[in-house]
Structure 1
């Protein structure tokens, strides 16, 4: 399982764009890879620790709890990162 965590807040334009990028990338993935994703969206307004850590950087995307990117999420870079994680999982 590959965990994608998108951290943002309501009424955040860049957060909405990042969510759309994630959705578009996932829609283009092979079914086997897409089915192996767990996607979670969190708001910094609901968690003081997330707010403290990320308020200046939202949207933030974590892959398996590691920072993948913030502010602007590149579809190509995200696609490559998911493919690499899927290949790692297939090798184990």
Structure 2
């Protein structure tokens, strides 16, 4: 696997985060990409920045989505 192109900022117990993770796992597996998940609870700066927007998805270091992850949009970002 290559370096992760997708970063999911999330927190435990977040149902939207679980939904986002499922989409990200599916798309990354399909495309041979990897992702990393970061808990915003582990970093006060991330907690302050993203507390009201999780889950937040970054692709190639740029913010891509928040709250919901579109499978089609994520696939396009990773292949385009």
| TM-score by shorter chain over 0.5 | yes
The number of aligned residues is 78
- Structure 1 segments unaligned to the other structure (5+ residues): 85-92
Q: Which has the higher helix share?
A: 1
Q: What is the RMSD of the two structures over their aligned residues, measured on CA atoms? A: 1.2
Q: Which of structures 1 and 2 has the bigger CA Rg?
A: 1
What's the secondary structure of 1:45's corresponding residue? Answer: helix
- 2:50 & 2:8 partners in 1: Cα distance? 11
Check if 1:83 corresponds to 2:76. Answer: no
Q: TM-score, normalised by structure 2?
A: 0.90
- 2:12 & 2:79 partners in 1: Cα distance? 29
Q: How does 1:47-58 map to 2 (within 5 A)?
A: 47-58=43-54
